[in-house]
Amino acid sequence: MSRVSRVDHIAYAVAEGMIEKWAWYHIEVEGGKLTKRVDDVRPDDPDSSMKLWCIDFESFGVVLVEGIDRKKKSQVTAFADCHGDHSVQHIAFDTENLEQFVSRAISKGVNLRGQQLVSNDGFGELKQLFGKGYAKQNAAEMSFPEYVERPKHGAQMSTSVPQNTGKNFYQRIEHARNTGDTSTLINFSLMPSDWAPDSSGKRASPSATQPAEQQEPAGA
Ligand SMILES: [Fe+2]
């Protein structure tokens, strides 16, 4: 199966000084549980950083990010300034098989921001890939999708894709921001001009297309 199956987590960018307040809301009002708290993810970066707290709801997670401005305004501060406190920066969708999903997505013209990463994000191990922004705007200010795959019950994470080479995701957004890369997730050029949704109620075939070569997009 190569389609997305559920929401894995929602990441909110919060305004300066608000991460504790929104954590209280998600924990005490909504019933979540704090599973990871990092008050400075880039302590050695003279330019900027962010706070990152993860709150687990078992069937999905909430991630709160708050910018830390130093010589530069943090990309997270820029996002919250643009969209307001507690605005959705990205939604991550789970997939049964990330490599198959990515092959399908690339075959439809989807532009990803760099290659797959493997990490532990506060909800457990995962493979993850980020899409470029939905619209042609400053990369720091544009929301985007994330696609993930979690290891299946007790299994080891396995992947054939070379891991964690090059920039991490914060650095990729910084690079796009610094170079004026406003390229988008998709330009619909591969959407057939006569496409219409199937009115029979059947889902589009989830079968994987021929695996496409994963390429590091320009600027990532
Ligand atoms: Fe995420």
220, pLDDT greater than 60: no
Please give the distance, rounded to the nearest whole angstrom, from the Cα atom of residue 144 to the centre of ligand 1.
10
As a whole number of angstroms, the distance between CA 97 and CA 207 comes to 11
Environment class of 113 (CB within 10 Å of its CB; exposed 0-12, middle 13-18, buried 19+) = buried
Looking at residue 126, what DSSP letter applies? E
- Say if residues 138 and 177 touch (Cβ distance below 8 Å): yes
Look at the alpha carbons of 43, 44, 46, 52 in this order and tell me if their dihedral is positive or negative.
Answer: negative
Mean pLDDT of 160-174: 74
Listed residues: CB within 5 A of ion ligand 1: 11, 92, 146
pLDDT value of residue 96: 92
Neighbouring C-beta atoms of residue 103, cutoff 10 Å: 19
Confidence of residue 158 (pLDDT cuts 50, 70, 90): low
Question: What domains are defined for the chain?
Answer: 4-152+162-179 (3.10.180.10)
Ligand 1 center from residue 11 Cα (angstroms): 6
Report the predicted TM-score, pTM, of the whole model to 2 decimal places: 0.88
- Whether 211 has a pLDDT exceeding 50, the answer reads no
**Which tens digit of pLDDT belongs to each residue from 62-106?**
999 999 999 999 999 999 999 999 999 999 999 999 999 999 999
CA–CA distance, 142 with 133 (Å, rounded to integer): 5
